[in-house]
């Protein structure tokens, strides 16, 4: 009997050893899950004409529970605020670098301002083109059914963009405010067309020629 029991234990141990181990899910590092949630939200926003995104759909995409989402964000509005923060940081870091660059040796202050304004407009257009989901946030398309403060914040973003453009154009004459307003509206229009076309009409289409007409 003892011999049979030992053989049984050996056989059982052998079969357990041979059986494949179930995959072990790695625990995300601190802050990693938060980034994953924002990346998934941005990816879902890239679907042309997508419907309102629910936390249930977002959780399903990440294979987690809705409760897991709320351990990192107090609300869906806070998730969108995370995307807006990324937009603000990315764009204003680049525009700040553009403004800090010194003028060329044969470039007047007015010419340098025109160049900077064109580069800032280009940065905005290229950022949206590379990040279609973010473009929907920038023009407010993805925020229509969300918290009103999100639309207010994006409006403030473009107000700051316009103020930056005005600063660049201030040496070009007394119409700096008008030119900055027209240029900001042009950029917004390009992004809106990009989103409405289902991302088929690239916002950078003939961009250099269009900017030359407005700023030349």
Sign of CA dihedral 10, 15, 20, 26: negative
Considering the domain boundaries, does residue 83 fall inside one?
yes
- Mean pLDDT over the full length of the chain: 87
Long-range Cβ contact pairs of 184-188 (< 8 A, separation 24 or more): 184/158, 186/121, 186/210, 186/214, 187/121, 187/124, 187/125, 187/161, 188/139, 188/158
Report, as an integer, the average pLDDT of 29-50.
86
Sign of CA dihedral 60, 63, 66, 70: negative
Total Cβ atoms within 10 A of residue 3: 7
Domain of 161 in residue numbering reads as 77-215
Considering the domain boundaries, does residue 72 fall inside one?
no
Q: Is the pLDDT of residue 139 over 80?
A: yes
Considering the domain boundaries, does residue 141 fall inside one?
yes
CATH code of the domain in which 114 resides: 1.10.357.10
Considering the domain boundaries, does residue 29 fall inside one?
no
- The counts of H helices and E strands in the chain are 10, 0
pLDDT band at 149 (very low <50, low <70, confident <90, very high): very high
What DSSP character marks residue 63?
T
Considering the domain boundaries, does residue 131 fall inside one?
yes
Higher local confidence (pLDDT), 145 or 122:
122
Q: Is the pLDDT of residue 160 over 80?
A: yes
Tell me the percentage of the chain whose pLDDT exceeds 70.
Answer: 85
CB under 8 Å to 58, separation ≥6 — which residues?
Answer: 37, 40, 41, 44, 69, 79
Higher local confidence (pLDDT), 75 or 26:
75
Report, as an integer, the average pLDDT of 35-55.
88
Task: Note the pLDDT of residue 20.
Answer: 53
Domain count for the chain? 1
Is 44 in a helix, a strand, or coil?
A: helix
pLDDT digits (tens, 9 = 90+) for 85-132: 999 999 999 999 999 987 777 789 999 999 999 999 999 999 999 999
Contact 80, 143 (CB under 8 A): yes
pTM score above 0.85: no
Reference 154, options 117, 122, 124; nearest CA is 124
Alpha-carbon span 144 to 102, nearest angstrom: 41
Q: Is the pLDDT of residue 31 over 70?
A: yes
Considering the domain boundaries, does residue 59 fall inside one?
no
Higher local confidence (pLDDT), 181 or 8:
181
Reference 194, options 115, 137, 119, 114; nearest CA is 137
């Amino acid at each position: 009997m003892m011999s049979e029991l030992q053989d049984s234990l050996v056989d059982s141990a052998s079969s357990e050893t041979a059986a494949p181990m179930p995959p072990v899910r790695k625990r995300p590092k601190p802050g990693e899950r938060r980034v994953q949630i924002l990346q998934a939200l941005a990816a879902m926003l890239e679907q042309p004409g997508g419907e309102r995104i629910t936390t249930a759909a977002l959780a399903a995409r990440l294979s987690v529970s809705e409760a897991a989402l709320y351990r990192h964000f107090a609300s869906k509005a806070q998730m969108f605020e995370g995307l807006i923060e990324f937009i603000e940081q990315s764009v204003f870091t680049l525009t700040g670098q553009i403004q800090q660059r010194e003028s060329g040796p044969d470039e007047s202050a007015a010419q340098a301002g025109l160049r900077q304004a064109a580069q800032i407009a280009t940065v905005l257009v290229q950022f949206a083109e590379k990040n279609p989901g973010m473009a929907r946030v920038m023009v407010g398309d993805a925020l229509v059914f969300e918290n009103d403060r999100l639309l207010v914040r994006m409006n403030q973003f473009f107000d700051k963009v316009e103020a930056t453009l005005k600063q660049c154009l201030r040496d070009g004459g007394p119409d700096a405010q008008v030119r900055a307003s027209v240029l900001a509206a042009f950029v917004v229009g390009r992004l809106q067309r990009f989103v409405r076309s289902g991302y088929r009409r690239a916002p950078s289409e003939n961009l250099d020629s269009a900017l030359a007409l407005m700023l030349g």
